[in-house]
Amino acid sequence: MQNLLHIQTLGALRASGYTPRSVKQELRDNLIEKIRRKETVFPGIFGFDDTVLPDVERAILSQHNILLLGLRGQAKTRIARQLVHLLDEYIPVVAGSELNDDPLQPISRFALDLIAEKGDDTPVTWLHRDDRYVEKLATPDVSVADLIGDVDPIKAANLRLPYSDERVIHFGLIPRAHRCLFVINELPDLQARIQVALFNVLQEGDMQIRGFKLRLPVDVEFVFTANPEDYTNRGSIITPLKDRIESQITTHYPTSIEIGRKITEQEARLSAPQREGVYVSEILKNLVEEIAFAARESDLVDKKSGVSARLTISAFELLHAAAERRMLRNGEKKVTARIGDFWGVIPSITGKVEMVYEGEQEGAHSVAMDIIGEALKKIFLQYFPDPTKLKRGRESDPYGVVRAWFAAGNAVDLLSDAEDKKHLRALESVAGLAKLCDTLDGLPAADKPVFMELILHGLSEFEVLDKDFLQTRLVFKDFITGNLKDEDDDDMRDLFN
């Protein structure tokens, strides 16, 4: 199409051999070309290569309108927006037409009158594919006039025309999206009577505006998105409308930690100082993803609502921010993210999960702590044996030295704002902790403090150690001797008071 951009009139366009195509035919032809060239059709979409994307491609090849059905945060809108890259880069339109009229197949009164008046001298302009994408968020206040159109009294008065003249029509979004890709997000939120207005457009390929005889043969590729939760809570897609949408494609959440990480690291908005100054080990990146998996499996979280991929993106950003804040407070140039920093990502969890009744009774903060704890368990068991399934005796217990150190009444304080060196010294003070990490093959030196901290958190989650959360620190101690020592300290304070 690039070699036709110099054409400025209808006559020159007709002489060039240009042949009009429907939007669906454009999408189909360009998809076929990309597949033959083995090009990536949907860049940046991970985890759908064998499930969702083949269905989308089959729908385009079948020239179908599409409904993407899935829980929140499953890349439905992102897929829809990428379809614009399957359109021709430029298409010719009648200059001044508000309906993007094809010069060889005009539909509007304006274009028909202009061509009748000027013939081959009718001016032609070129529309880029980026301007052929229309997106509307469905809300209960959307009207038929918004989508289809209605009489414009002001236009009628200015032009001194009766309401029966079609020139007084104010066209809605759909006719203005003629020859475009039109996306309606959250379709169930449209009132049922508004959904009815879409019947004719989807089935017959034309539309009517009340009070007028004209039937506009609009050419639109529709993509709808919907959340299954909406079918029961806020609204529903009426059955006749679902019947007219040829392809319904179900999306899903990432099925593995690796896929989740690709999505998170691609979408996270990190500043240059955060990328350069904050080191995040691979195990912590996995822990971010495990939090989402744990949330989706939690009995305290409403599974119908889902847990958006935005949770891990926000958590990853907050993890960097927590480490960066500590770096700035201590005047350091480099800093290593810690497990303790995950208590700074709790706001990304509490705002992203819908809880069942039991979860609401427990409280959002407590549910977030439980989710982090479950994620820590999974990560811990990937590297270390389950402490609850070991035989008694130091010879068969790899945690024996650590247990004995805490049983002797020792405790370790991990200050949230401590410098990396002080944090490492505190971890190294725990007997047996460093040696446990040495049993891991190929462990990078930079990751050793994180794994030492993981052992403490893992033993705490399996109730081998007691973990106290204070305002600025985490304190690990033995359940029995630690609590007895606390009671003795309280008794001494009472004695002197």
The DSSP-derived string for 460-473 is HHTTSEEEEE-SSE
Count of H-run helices and E-run strands, the chain: 23, 16
Instruction: State how far the Cα of 330 lies from the Cα of 318, in Å rounded to an integer.
Output: 18
Instruction: State how far the Cα of 73 lies from the Cα of 75, in Å rounded to an integer.
Output: 6
Instruction: State how far the Cα of 145 lies from the Cα of 385, in Å rounded to an integer.
Output: 64
In contact, 8 and 124? CB cutoff 8 Å: yes
For strand 215-216 and strand 133-137, is the pairing parallel, antiparallel, or unpaired?
unpaired
* Phi, psi of 452, rounded to the nearest 5 degrees: -65, -40
Name the strand (E) or helix (H) holding 125.
strand 124-128
pLDDT score recorded for residue 491: 45
Alpha helices in 178-234 (DSSP H): 192-196, 199-203
Strand spans (E) along 201-271: 207-208, 215-216, 220-226, 247-250
Mean pLDDT by 10 residues, the chain (497 residues): 84 93 96 96 95 97 96 93 96 94 93 94 96 93 86 70 68 92 93 87 75 78 87 72 94 95 96 95 97 95 89 96 95 95 93 89 92 96 91 71 93 93 95 92 92 96 91 87 53 42
- Residue at 262: amino acid letter: K
- This prediction has a pTM of 0.86
Kindly report the length of the chain. Answer: 497
Tell me the three state secondary structure of residue 474: strand
Strand partners for 170: 150
For strand 66-69 and strand 220-226, is the pairing parallel, antiparallel, or unpaired?
parallel
pLDDT score recorded for residue 165: 65
Angle of the 364-383 helix axis to the 282-297 helix axis, nearest 10: 130
For the chain, domains (ranges, CATH) are 2-250 (3.40.50.300), 255-383 (1.10.8.80), 389-497 (1.10.10)
